[in-house]
Amino acid sequence: MSQAGGQHAADMDGYLRPTRYIDSDSDAVQAFTQEALGDAQQLSDTQKAVRLYHAVRDGIRYNPYAFSMRPEDYVASAIAGFKSAYCVPKAILMTACLRAAGIPAAVGFADVRNHLNSPKLAALMQSDLFIYHGYVQLWLGDRTFKVTPAFNKELCLKFGVKPLEFDGTGDALFHEFDTQNRRHMEYVNDRGIFQEAPMERILSDFREFYPNLAAHADSRRDLQVEDDAFSGSA
């Protein structure tokens, strides 16, 4: 999916500015970014993007049960302090970190079908369709890339899915098949990219599409509660 330029290339300023949810100028995002990059003066933009991808992918474990219906839990500066999160918060945080590093980035959303969904999660969702799967589009020079930092490496190895790698030369989106050649993730609909995460619309659609999951989130006080299947342990 890599391509030169892109239809939004003429408006790069909008993909560098902080927003309510992508608060790239916040102390928490700046600190997360600095810790991931170290001596950034010695790094190219490609090297920065790769480091930030891995910092978000592996530094915050994937956990779909850390699902919230509270808008404040989708602000990048809050997400930077999470131990676990699912794809939407992780995509928002990576977008903010890239902007903090001076790399234009947008948060993107797509509907995907997970053919290997767990029975427990499927029962909560009442569907195998994940609407608004979060990903990141970033610009490196005249090229754009789409990446998803959702599944941490340890979780991928546990579930027999090859970890997605981003090296600055190609996209990093979900594999169609797992290591046993079973159908894994199927992209159904790309909802596009955004300078700001449209969380009010997303949360409204979540409540309509996933009433059980939304009710479960409403009843839980601790966002960071861990489920054994998604603890990130090998």
The whole-angstrom separation of Cα 96 and Cα 79 is: 10
Q: How confident is the model at residue 1 (pLDDT cuts 50, 70, 90)?
A: very low
Token pair of 79 as six digits: 């997400």
Is the pLDDT reported for residue 10 higher than 70? no
More confident residue, 84 or 222: 84
More confident residue, 152 or 226: 152
Domain count, the chain: 1
- Supply the pLDDT for residue 2: 36
More confident residue, 163 or 116: 163
211 in any annotated domain: yes
Percent of the chain with pLDDT over 70: 83
- Supply the pLDDT for residue 4: 36
The whole-angstrom separation of Cα 78 and Cα 33 is: 14
227 in any annotated domain: no
7 near 192, Cβ under 8 Å?
A: no
Q: What would the mean pLDDT of 144-148 be, rounded to a whole number?
A: 96
For β-strands 105-114 and 185-194, DSSP reports them as: antiparallel
Q: What would the mean pLDDT of 62-86 be, rounded to a whole number?
A: 95
- Supply the pLDDT for residue 153: 83
| Model confidence pLDDT, tens digit, residues 101-138 | 999 999 999 999 874 566 788 788 898 889 999 999 99
Q: What would the mean pLDDT of 23-41 be, rounded to a whole number?
A: 94
Please give the model's pTM, rounded to 2 decimal places: 0.88
229 in any annotated domain: no
**In sequence order, which residues have a C-beta less than 8 Å from that of residue 208 and are 6 or more positions away?**
none
For β-strands 143-147 and 84-85, DSSP reports them as: unpaired
AA letter at 103? I
We report the CATH number of the domain holding residue 82 as 3.10.620.30
The whole-angstrom separation of Cα 62 and Cα 154 is: 10
145 in any annotated domain: yes
Is the pLDDT reported for residue 88 higher than 70? yes
234 in any annotated domain: no
DSSP 171-197: -B---SB-TT--B-EEEEEEEEEESS-
Q: What would the mean pLDDT of 82-103 be, rounded to a whole number?
A: 97
Nearest to 166 by CA among 143, 186, 149, 144: 149
More confident residue, 220 or 140: 140
225 in any annotated domain: no
30 in any annotated domain: yes
Residues of the domain holding 187: 3-220
228 in any annotated domain: no
Secondary element (H or E) of residue 46: helix 45-59
Q: What would the mean pLDDT of 65-90 be, rounded to a whole number?
A: 96
Q: What would the mean pLDDT of 163-185 be, rounded to a whole number?
A: 73
- Supply the pLDDT for residue 144: 96
The whole-angstrom separation of Cα 124 and Cα 118 is: 10
